Amino acid sequence: MSVPANLIDGRAIAAQIQSELAARIADLRKRGVVSGLAFVRVGEDPASKVYVGRKEKACAELGIVSETHVLHEQTTENELLALVTRLNGAGHLHGILVQAPLPRQIRESVIYSSVSPAKDVDGFHPVNVGKLMLGDATGFRPCTPAGVVELLQRSGVKTEGAEVVVLGRGNIVGKPMAAMLCQKGRAANSTVTICHSATRDIKSHCLRADIIVAAMGVAEFLKADMVRPGVVVMDVGVNRVPDLTSKTGTKLVGDVDFQQIQPIAGKITPNPGGVGPMTIAMLLQNTVRAAEQSIG
């Protein structure tokens, strides 16, 4: 079966980035630096175990040394803060990733703010968030929206002057996505509209868009009658829905009704195989850059 020409292959583009990173990692080793990344997982959330496992595998394949710290579900906020403090001071580690979600007794904002900005390869520390808003390239950008920008750029999508609709206003994707695309600079210079649960007539906004980034967390929210022919669609969503044909009784779908929209889109990311691999690639890129910055 032939692959539709309008598909943006996130796996292939992620592989390109990792190939580029391999040369930088080799150069660091020549200088006596081995890139190191720490993962922290609290509890036994099945999805978190899968996500961390994929990131561990990617690190091993690229030559980044990783270590994973697993804490029990009843871990207190102070106990987690103590671990992060130790990791902040570990010279062999250049990046720290605390996997979400965290148990209810732990405030994510407090934990993210405790990670050293120089090791915040997730891009969640207020210092890095502020740098993003100011257009300061020395900060670390959140991995998923940064991956979307790379997909657009490497797929030849023109963003300058484009009308972009971001569906979702979350701190992890929606807000930083809008901030990145409206900046002055390459793969940016867009006119951005953020739509959310209180937006009136989301359809009218989407029909005006040249590019739509769907990150609402609502299964197959974006339908064919909400987009115009030739639109570029980036599907960030990960939603589990019932599927009687599956052994597990469920399946994963995005925020985009792919079957309806793919035939009329100019370009579109599949799900899976679109934005997901790029999130990991950008995490690796941030880690390598953190290692480079550690030696000036």
Cβ–Cβ under 8 Å, residues 104 and 84: no
* pLDDT greater than 90 at residue 1: no
Instruction: Say if 206 falls within a structural domain.
Output: yes
Identify whether residues 178 and 241 lie together within a single domain: yes
Paired tokens of 54: 């994929």
Give me the domain span that covers residue 104: 33-116
Give every CB contact of residue 235 below 8 A, 6+ residues apart in sequence. 214, 222, 254, 255, 256, 258, 268, 269, 270, 271, 274, 275
Active site residue 243: no
Q: Which of 18, 119, 120, 122 is catalytic?
A: 122
Return the amino acid letter for 17. Answer: I
Q: How far apart are CA 85 and CA 268, in angstroms?
A: 41
Instruction: Say if 121 falls within a structural domain.
Output: no
Strands (E), 159-249: 163-167, 191-195, 211-214, 232-235, 239-242
Q: How far apart are CA 111 and CA 100, in angstroms?
A: 11
pLDDT at position 244? 84
Identify whether residues 200 and 109 lie together within a single domain: no
Q: Which of 18, 55, 210, 235 is catalytic?
A: 55
User: What are 70-94's pLDDT values in tens digits?
Assistant: 999 999 999 999 999 999 999 999 9
Region at 280 (left for phi over 0; alpha for psi -120 to 50; beta for the rest): alpha
Identify whether residues 112 and 147 lie together within a single domain: no
Identify whether residues 161 and 272 lie together within a single domain: yes
pLDDT at position 40? 98
User: What are 13-56's pLDDT values in tens digits?
Assistant: 999 999 999 999 999 999 999 999 999 999 999 889 999 999 99
The mean pLDDT value for 179-188 works out to 94
Q: How far apart are CA 174 and CA 192, in angstroms?
A: 11
Give CA separation, 46 vs 51, 60, 117, in Å: 9, 21, 28
CATH of the domain at 101: 3.40.50.10860
Identify whether residues 153 and 81 lie together within a single domain: no
- Say which residue, 293 or 247, is predicted with more confidence: 293
Instruction: Say if 135 falls within a structural domain.
Output: no
Give CA separation, 270 vs 105, 118, 163, 206, 232, in Å: 36, 33, 22, 19, 12
User: What are 91-108's pLDDT values in tens digits?
Assistant: 999 999 999 999 999 999
Q: How far apart are CA 106 and CA 78, in angstroms?
A: 9
* pLDDT greater than 90 at residue 160: yes
User: What are 202-228's pLDDT values in tens digits?
Assistant: 999 999 999 999 999 999 999 999 999
According to DSSP, the residues that pair with 36 across neighbouring strands are: 65
Least confident of 124-133, 240-249, 255-264: 240-249
Element (H, E) at 131: helix 126-134
pLDDT at position 248? 85
For the chain, give the percent of residues with pLDDT over 70. Answer: 99
Instruction: Say if 12 falls within a structural domain.
Output: no
Instruction: Say if 242 falls within a structural domain.
Output: yes
Number of separate domains in the chain: 2
Residue 244, classed as helix, strand or coil, is coil
Instruction: Say if 283 falls within a structural domain.
Output: no
Q: Say if residue 272 is preceded by a cis peptide, omega within 30 of 0.
A: yes
Active site residue 153: no
Identify whether residues 183 and 108 lie together within a single domain: no
Q: What is the DSSP letter of 220?
A: T
Identify whether residues 191 and 105 lie together within a single domain: no
Instruction: Say if 169 falls within a structural domain.
Output: yes
Q: How far apart are CA 283 and CA 99, in angstroms?
A: 12
Identify whether residues 151 and 248 lie together within a single domain: yes
Least confident of 139-153, 189-203, 238-252: 238-252
Q: Which of 99, 183, 262, 285 is catalytic?
A: 99
Active site residue 259: no
* Average pLDDT value for the chain: 96
Identify whether residues 149 and 262 lie together within a single domain: yes
CATH of the domain at 164: 3.40.50.720
Cβ–Cβ under 8 Å, residues 285 and 13: no
Cβ–Cβ under 8 Å, residues 152 and 232: yes
Identify whether residues 171 and 95 lie together within a single domain: no
Cβ–Cβ under 8 Å, residues 143 and 283: yes
Identify whether residues 178 and 263 lie together within a single domain: yes
pLDDT at position 2? 55
The mean pLDDT value for 131-152 works out to 97
Q: How far apart are CA 155 and CA 182, in angstroms?
A: 19
pLDDT at position 3? 63
Instruction: Say if 19 falls within a structural domain.
Output: no
Identify whether residues 49 and 172 lie together within a single domain: no
